[in-house]
Amino acid sequence: MNTTIEAGTLDQWYVLDALTDIPVAAKHHRLLGTDLTTRRGPNGEIAIRAAGRDQPLPARERYGCLWTSLGKPERDIVAIPEADEADRRHVICGAVTVRASGLRIVENFLDMAHFPFVHTDILGSEPHTEVRHYATEIRRDIDEVWATDCEFFQPQAALSATGGIVTQYMYRVATPFATLLYKTCPNAADRWDVICLFVQPLDPGQCRAHPVMFLIDDASALADLVQFQQMIFLQDRIILENQRPRLLPLEPRAEIPTRADATSVVYRRWLKEKGVVYGTTLGGSS
């Protein structure tokens, strides 16, 4: 294991896989430059081993996924109260490998400005390209980044949507590599659909993204929900893999933000406060 990885990155919980994808036979994984092996025991318990370590890593089962850490997390896995609501669809969308920093993935998830140009006629369209003013903050009591009062016109905000609507958004960055989106639910005006993105950094410039959704939608087929979300993410992957540098710049004025990038600015400031450099240009090239 690379012992030079900073605590802000090392001491976090990360998703390795969907629980349904952990076989009895050994399966190989990678996390923060370290090779791991998972295996199911005779009673269904999962053991995680890291190359060069005698003791197994912690294994947690949450939200249909297997989580672990190479460090010593001071906090539990991110709490998502909506996951416990009985009428929600729990949709695990499958992992997507991306040749980009995991922090780039999170930042892209927070960006509304690209909707009309990358997700044309789905999450956005011309001439509706304006990102209206919204609020951002670091919530010090819970150490998370939030963006609220976000809204954007979307031709098809969700698979269940039947027409274009102005969609309300809230973004929540719970850890440097885990972010959640709360958005207008087409099927329940007083509730939010929840879309999570759990990022597994393989190396500084490569990661696996694990989208997981908790939706109010009792009509759509599971396969269709997964396909819709994968289509959105694969559109993002094309853009992400062509960004240069591949790592996230944290140096002042390395990339010039606009008003629409308010969440990105706060996210980068938060990363710097936490001393996170893994996957950034401050941490070196990959």
> How many CB atoms neighbour CB 230 within 10 A?
14
**AA letter at 86:** A
Q: Are 153 and 166 in contact (CB under 8 A)?
A: yes
Residues 235 and 119: their CA atoms lie apart, in Å, by 7
pLDDT tens for each residue of 67-77:
999 999 999 99
What is the per-residue pLDDT for 261?
73
Residues 210 and 181: their CA atoms lie apart, in Å, by 14
What is the per-residue pLDDT for 164?
67
At the second CATH level, the architecture of 7-68 is Single Sheet (2.20)
Place of tokens 């002042």: 252
Does 45 have pLDDT greater than 70? Answer: yes
Query: Residue 283: which H helix or E strand, with range?
Result: none
Residues 106 and 267: their CA atoms lie apart, in Å, by 9
Does 278 have pLDDT greater than 50? Answer: yes
Q: CA end-to-end span of the chain, whole Å?
A: 16
Does 114 have pLDDT greater than 80? Answer: no
Residues 149 and 120: their CA atoms lie apart, in Å, by 23
- Helices of type H across the chain: 7-10, 102-109, 115-118, 222-240, 262-274
Nearest Cα neighbor of 69 from 123, 11, 139 is 11
Using 50, 70 and 90 to split pLDDT, how confident is the model at 1? very low
Residues 259 and 141: their CA atoms lie apart, in Å, by 26
Question: Is 84-283 CATH 3.90.380.10?
Answer: yes
Phi, psi (degrees; rounded to nearest 5) at 108: -60, -40
In degrees to the nearest 10, what's the CA dihedral of 198, 275, 72, 100?
A: 30
Place of tokens 């919980």: 13
Place of tokens 């036979």: 25
Using 50, 70 and 90 to split pLDDT, how confident is the model at 282? confident
Least confident stretch, 73-82, 110-119, 122-131, 150-159: 122-131
Q: What is the mean pLDDT of the chain?
A: 86
What is the per-residue pLDDT for 157?
52
Structure-token pair, residue 173 = 């960055």
Domain boundaries, the chain: 7-68, 84-283
pLDDT tens for each residue of 219-274:
889 998 888 888 888 787 878 888 889 999 988 665 555 554 788 889 999 999 99
